[in-house]
Amino acid sequence: MRHTTINDLAKLLKLSPSTVSRALRDHPDISKKTKEKVLEMAAHTNYQPNIIAQSLQNRRSNTIGVIIPEIRNTFFSTVISGIEEVAYQAGYIIMVCQSGDTYAREVLNTKALAANRVAGMLVSTSQETTDYSHLKTAIAQGIHIVFFDRIPEEIEASKVIVDDFEGAYGAVNHLIERGYQRIAHLAGNPTLYVSRKRSDGYEAALRDHYREIRSEYIITGGYHEEDGRAGVERLLCLTDPPDAIFTINDPVAIGAFRQLQDRGMAIPGKMALVGFSNNPNTALVRPRITTVNQPAFEIGQTTARLLLKNFYLSPEKQKVETIVLKTELIVRESS
Amino acid sequence: MRHTTINDLAKLLKLSPSTVSRALRDHPDISKKTKEKVLEMAAHTNYQPNIIAQSLQNRRSNTIGVIIPEIRNTFFSTVISGIEEVAYQAGYIIMVCQSGDTYAREVLNTKALAANRVAGMLVSTSQETTDYSHLKTAIAQGIHIVFFDRIPEEIEASKVIVDDFEGAYGAVNHLIERGYQRIAHLAGNPTLYVSRKRSDGYEAALRDHYREIRSEYIITGGYHEEDGRAGVERLLCLTDPPDAIFTINDPVAIGAFRQLQDRGMAIPGKMALVGFSNNPNTALVRPRITTVNQPAFEIGQTTARLLLKNFYLSPEKQKVETIVLKTELIVRESS
DNA sequence: CTGAAAGCGCTTACAG
DNA sequence: CTGAAAGCGCTTACAG
């Protein structure tokens, strides 16, 4: 048994495909009686509209493409949940692609989604991406894109971010107030806007308290646990090691935590630690890790809503907007 | 600017759409010269084939639907990574749907994916699902489905699971060997095959060691942290509380862990704990939690490969197979 | 080697 | 209230 089509229904009912189509879509022209007959037969034969054909005809698809670095990162999987919830309620389905944090895969993902004629894309760029022409091309082709978290500055499009600068500033400010003297920063790749903003917040907080910014305390690396471990190793090799660390995100904080733990360093006694994101993990370890909450689920919802909103607006009414969500410092025992 | 079509190219090049189509697909009939001209123009105009139209024409789509209970569960997000990797390399893209562990959403998801004419589906059912007709209908419509982890026994289809019985048996056996006397089980919903198999393994291990199976030690619940917390509470209320707990999965183990910790109970001194899945979390807490490794990424890869294999087989050559992957007991400090 | 025609499953302006 | 016709963007058997 194959899928039932409108033509099948038309033949069975001795009606034209047009009438069946209209009956199915509850067109006012069609009589109650016909509608009932059609609906009954549709249910009976398990008819399901071919959305592929509808999309082709209507030149609008019901799928939203999502490109993220890595689904296994709790932050991103939570964002996806938020996206999916909103998309689902609006009758959209999501296609998820991982760039694996590489530029090459991100380009391929973008093309694949464009070729699939998604109604729109929600993207968080890879840490390698500095050339945004693949995304610009997609936009030029008429595909709506909303960026979140890892956004390209140079593209004029809607974006959803958090107040990274404020979040980082608050975290470092908190460390200073707690009396830590030598505060290091495990920073992210400066190609990413978020990373730069968090680093800026770190530096601004130090500066506002007349603290020296020591370049040996700023270690640039990636976004994973191993980067946290490596960063801690490098900091501990310094002749004057720091007494506190602020990390670019929580995976890095967890890596730092484990490395410090493996080295037998007391947290926060020997080294204080503050992360960023509020991954559930940070509340699981002992001491629990102080972190900056990023409302991941809400970021997902907001991003999806921003996209959907544009779908229903005429091109001239569509406007580009950047929504900045609030972060919140969650003070726990690691600082 | 809209998407360039084959007709656009044909007009620009003063060729027929048929020729352009063939040139694009590198058909042997077409001359080298024409191919070059077409390819050049395609690159120049940023032509991307409309996969929607291709799918309609070829009656085969390049998307694979995935239905899981919850993306935020590390086990499932890791499975998805495995699926995505294999799918990606074969030129497929994945559509991800979450059932939220509810029957109603699962039915809707199945219909949505079927309506989107996915080439196949990869599904892990919700804990509520006992009626499988939605899945059977999809199969009857000619959609390939491979089930993984949470599989429906009554459907004859390919499946990828782990040796749940063995895994559970080994875990409980280990607790017995370590000298624990009163071993409890925070069990899952018995509607799920995995849950029953793990419970069976638990009971078999006890029986093989001539231990009594005490019904008050078997608590049936859900699959989340809160279920672990609630389960521990109930166990601690018993007049003769257990000295060890084997949980249906790691989120439940983590919940149990936290509850025990909050209650100030020493692990494993007062209560030993063994989980199931080997979520990264279990290695993060102190004491680290003994668990049964489930190769999540490999489950994803295997599931996707099983589906892809069937795509290239004629219907009569396609066979239903169940692949059982090995689990491994990871002994850590909680037991 | 290239093109005209039909068709995948649907929708909708146009007739009647 | 219903139907015939054209078309969404592509592919492919059939001609030439």
Predicted TM-score of the model (pTM): 0.92
My answer on whether A250 and A281 are in the same domain is: yes
Q: Which nucleotide is nearest to A22 (CA to C1')?
A: C11
**Does the pLDDT value for residue B286 go beyond 60?**
yes
Strand D reaches within 7 A of the B24 CB:
yes
Mean pLDDT of B239-250: 97
Q: How far apart are CA B118 and CA B146, in angstroms?
A: 13
C-beta separation of A73 from A281 below 8 A: no
Q: Which residue has the higher pLDDT, B45 or B278?
A: B278
Mean pLDDT of A58-64: 89
pLDDT at position A26 is 86
Q: Which residue has the higher pLDDT, B2 or A248?
A: A248
Q: Is residue B334 part of a domain?
A: no
Number of CB atoms found within 10 A of residue B311's CB: 14
Name the band, by pLDDT with cuts 50, 70 and 90, for residue A317: confident
Number of domains in chain A: 3
For D13, which residue's CA is nearest its C1'?
B18
Amino acid letter for position A152: P
C-alpha dihedral sign at B186, B127, B332, A74: negative
pLDDT at position A157 is 93
Q: How far apart are CA B259 and CA B1, in angstroms?
A: 59
My answer on whether B69 and B81 are in the same domain is: yes
My answer on whether A261 and A214 are in the same domain is: yes
Kindly report, residue by residue over A12-40, the tens digit of the pLDDT. 888 888 999 999 988 888 888 888 888 99
| CATH code of the domain in which A209 resides | 3.40.50.2300
My answer on whether B315 and B275 are in the same domain is: no
**Does the pLDDT value for residue A1 go beyond 60?**
no
My answer on whether A32 and A109 are in the same domain is: no
Task: Look at phi and psi of residue A23 and say left if phi exceeds 0, alpha if psi is from -120 to 50, else beta.
Answer: alpha
Residues in contact with B34: Cβ distance below 8 Å, sequence separation at least 6, in sequence order: B15, B19, B23
Quickly give A54 CA vs D15 C1' distance in Å: 33
**Does the pLDDT value for residue B121 go beyond 70?**
yes
pLDDT at position B58 is 86
Strand C reaches within 7 A of the A56 CB:
yes
pLDDT at position B298 is 98
Q: Is residue B269 part of a domain?
A: yes
Indicate the SS3 state at residue B293: strand
Q: How far apart are CA B209 and CA B189, in angstroms?
A: 25
**Does the pLDDT value for residue B9 go beyond 80?**
yes
Strand C reaches within 7 A of the A49 CB:
yes
pLDDT at position A32 is 87
Q: How far apart are CA B324 and CA B179, in angstroms?
A: 30
Q: What does the block give as tokens for B49? A: 């084939």
pLDDT at position B11 is 86
Q: Is residue B332 part of a domain?
A: no
Q: Is residue A331 part of a domain?
A: no
Percentage of chain A with pLDDT > 90? 79
My answer on whether A287 and A168 are in the same domain is: yes
Task: State whether A96 and B97 contact (CB < 8 Å).
Answer: no
Mean pLDDT of A177-201: 96
My answer on whether B232 and B209 are in the same domain is: yes
Mean pLDDT of A286-314: 93
C-beta separation of B82 from B297 below 8 A: yes
The residues in A 46-75 lying below 8 A from B, measured between CB atoms, are: 46, 48-53, 55-56, 61-63, 70-72, 74
Kindly report, residue by residue over A203-259, the tens digit of the pLDDT. 999 999 999 999 999 999 999 999 999 999 999 999 999 999 999 999 999 999 999
> Nearest C-alpha of chain A: how many angstroms from B276?
18
Task: Specify the length of chain A in residues.
Answer: 335
Q: Is residue A54 part of a domain?
A: no
Mind giving me the DSSP string for A187-244? E--TTSHHHHHHHHHHHHHHHHTT----GGGEEE--SSHHHHHHHHHHHHTSSS--SE
pLDDT at position A140 is 87
Q: Which domain holds residue A143?
A: 62-162+296-326
> Nearest C-alpha of chain A: how many angstroms from B94?
6
My answer on whether B223 and B115 are in the same domain is: no
pLDDT at position A312 is 77
Number of CB atoms found within 10 A of residue B181's CB: 10
Find the residue in B nearest to A72 (Cα).
B77
pLDDT at position B1 is 55
Q: Is residue B330 part of a domain?
A: no
Strand D reaches within 7 A of the B198 CB:
no
> C-alpha B91: how far from its chain's center?
20
My answer on whether A151 and A254 are in the same domain is: no
Q: Which of residues 53-112 of B touch strand D (CB under 7 A)?
A: 53-54, 56-58
Q: Is residue A332 part of a domain?
A: no
My answer on whether A229 and A276 are in the same domain is: yes
My answer on whether A300 and A283 are in the same domain is: no
* Mean pLDDT for chain A overall: 93
Mean pLDDT of A68-80: 95
pLDDT at position A227 is 97
Kindly report, residue by residue over B143-174, the tens digit of the pLDDT. 899 999 999 999 999 999 999 999 999 999 99
Task: State whether B97 and A84 contact (CB < 8 Å).
Answer: yes
For D5, which residue's CA is nearest its C1'?
A18
Residue B293 main-chain phi, psi, to 5 deg: -70, 130
Radius of gyration of chain A (CA): 25
Task: State whether A142 and B1 contact (CB < 8 Å).
Answer: yes
Name the band, by pLDDT with cuts 50, 70 and 90, for residue B199: very high
Q: Where are the beta strands (DSSP E) in A55-182?
A: 63-68, 93-98, 120-123, 144-148, 158-162
Q: Is residue A334 part of a domain?
A: no
**Does the pLDDT value for residue A292 go beyond 70?**
yes
Task: State whether A94 and B94 contact (CB < 8 Å).
Answer: no
My answer on whether B157 and B76 are in the same domain is: yes
Task: State whether A141 and B98 contact (CB < 8 Å).
Answer: no
